[in-house]
Amino acid sequence: MSRASSPPLRPRRGQAGLIAAIAIAALVVAAVAGVFAFALLRPEPASSSPPAPSPETTTTMPAASPTVSQTPTPPPAPPVSPAAQTCDGSSTLMTVWAHPDDDIIFANPTISDAIAAGRCVRTVFVTAGDAGKGMDYVRARELGILRAYNAMRGKDGEWDATDIALDTGVHVRRLTPKDDPHLSVLYLRLPDGNITGAGFDATAHATLSKLYDGTEGSLVPVDGGPAVTRDQLVGSVRELASAFTPESTLTHIPRGSVFAPGDHPDHSAVGTLVRDALTSDAAVGPGIRYFVGYPSENLPRNLEGAVLDSKVDTYRIYTQQDQVIRCADRTACLKTRKFGEWLQRSYAKTEAELQMG
């Protein structure tokens, strides 16, 4: 049997409003839940610093006054001489002589003993000892000195040559063994004044004594280097002493000592130079020793045996390069007029023993 179809059901007006409100509330709840969930999942910021203020709220504050340090400025270090040589913990012996060979004639065995003990030895020759004979003779004597020092150190070897301009303006030639920085020999090469004190024709009779007395304003080295004044020479000795910081210094008897009459004028001038330049230096002055030169022949002989043999042999090696004074063996050296007597003696004097007149 057939039936007629029923009309669709519709909600009442009140019910529809209620449903709509419930739907909106559900959407709001969902949105809030989503925001909360996002906040839980978002990582923490790298810095917890508060956000920078906006330009409108930024306030510029004046900088605090800096604290000024009052640390004192250290005084400038003294200039280092181009001639400076360190000694690696050993004490230094500086020796200053008029001519190449004065050291090995008058101051040995003191020098050879210092070398054997491992001390640094810095030897300075003020004149070239040229005897008016020119540079060939000068170079021969200088070579003889290097070979004598090789004998004292017990080892042959080559030496390095260095030309140095001191801070004073004085030029020196320095020789150092390639294998031993403990030794060095320096040549100023000023003209030899001659045993008469009158100099030589070849160097216009220029002498160290005239320079020191003020009758000559300057001396020109025999190798043609820059002229040297008295003040420069005194300053150079001081500069070398400062560069080497010697514990002890050896040189000639100065003018005015009872041991000076009869000595070579160049010897006396160099002894006076060293005394004037260094005696007032508290670090150097007390260590100066003055060796009696030519007048030592009038004093008793005080060297003998192996010590004398070694000294004579060192001198003999030197003389093989010196065409003026040459001896073939110990006997010949000791028989050489004057030199044989000087070799058998060595007398060092302190400042108090000079008996200055």
**Top-confidence residue, 148 or 4:** 148
Q: DSSP label at 45?
A: P
**Top-confidence residue, 69 or 123:** 123
The pLDDT of residue 46 is above 90: no
**Top-confidence residue, 66 or 70:** 70
| Range of lowest pLDDT (27-36, 112-121, 254-263) | 27-36
**Top-confidence residue, 348 or 28:** 348
Give residue 357's pLDDT band: very low, low, confident or very high (50, 70, 90): confident
Q: Are the CB atoms for 88 and 229 separated by under 8 Å?
A: no
Average pLDDT over the chain, rounded to whole? Answer: 85
- What share of the chain has pLDDT > 70, as a percent? 78
Q: What is the pLDDT of residue 91?
A: 96
Q: For the chain, percent helix, then strand, then coil, each to nearest 5?
A: 40, 15, 45
Q: What is the pLDDT of residue 208?
A: 98
Q: Are strands 183-190 and 171-177 parallel, antiparallel or unpaired?
A: antiparallel
pLDDT (tens digit per residue) in 210-268:
999 999 999 999 999 999 999 999 999 999 999 999 999 999 999 999 999 999 999 99
**Top-confidence residue, 47 or 205:** 205
Q: What is the pLDDT of residue 73?
A: 65
The pLDDT of residue 53 is above 60: no
pLDDT (tens digit per residue) in 161-206:
999 999 999 999 999 999 999 999 999 999 999 999 999 999 999 9
The pLDDT of residue 31 is above 50: no
Secondary structure E strands in the chain: 92-97, 120-127, 159-165, 171-177, 183-190, 218-219, 228-229, 248-252, 288-291, 348-349
Q: How many residues does the chain have?
A: 357
- What share of the chain has pLDDT > 90, as a percent? 76
The pLDDT of residue 94 is above 80: yes
Token duo for residue 272: 């006076």
